[in-house]
A and B are shown apart, each in its own frame.
Chain A
Amino acid sequence: DTAVSQTPKYLVTQMGNDKSIKCEQNLGHDTMYWYKQDSKKFLKIMFSYNNKELIINETVPNRFSPKSPDKAHLNLHINSLELGDSAVYFCASRLGTPSSPLHFGNGTRLTVT
């Protein structure tokens, strides 16, 4: 199936740990994104990345870092996890054309205890 897929779907970990969330898209898209959705359902952009440019939302702590081994993957690494990092994280991708929408994965629910 063509899709944006994220793993794991659920991630429970303790404060201070380092964790990664993986994202892969087989849609041939140029640009990938990470979004954070809080308990009030607000979707906040964290990063956008294509093979030329990484744009980081200025409010994202530097404990978060995206890593792209190739055009189809954008993984999210989080160091020194904090309670406030608990949220659902969504990966998305899109073509680089002007009127191309975002295609989302089904999310990773991160719980920090």
Chain B
Amino acid sequence: GESVGLHLPTLSVQEGDNSIINCAYSNSASDYFIWYKQESGKGPQFIIDIRSNMDKRQGQRVTVLLNKTVKHLSLQIAATQPGDSAVYFCAERKTGNQFYFGTGTSLTVIP
């Protein structure tokens, strides 16, 4: 399943499928980007990050893709599990070490 980030704040996927969460960022000068996962009642947790001099970075079951031309960031989650259900945020670092967050996408994994 795939979200369109700011315009589609919810995403439902079947367990075992791959998920793609999208984010459009605002500042072409932003040089560092982070994906966070927020579960109910908790603070945002770091998932993966990427610097602007990279196009792709992989972690365990997660991949972040950065397209600077269109200012777009995506998070791919492989073999989505029920424990992946949460709200996902992208964040960009602007000048002065200020981090700005996207609207967030709520991911629901259907068993």
Binding site for B on A (CB under 8 A): 4, 31, 33, 35, 40-45, 48, 55, 90, 92, 94, 96, 98-99, 101-107
Contact = CB atoms under 8 A, between A and B. Distances in A.
Instruction: List the 7 closest A-B pairs by CB distance, nearest first.
Output: A104-B43, A43-B101, A106-B43, A101-B46, A41-B104, A104-B44, A101-B34
Interface residues of B, number: 25
Given A99-B32, A104-B45, A45 B51 contact: no
A42 B104 contact: yes
**Interface residues of B, dominant DSSP:** strand
Interface stretch (B21-29, B63-71, B74-82, B91-99): B91-99
B46 A103 contact: yes
Contacts of A105: 43
B43 A45 contact: no
Contact of B101 (A4, A42, A94, A96): A42
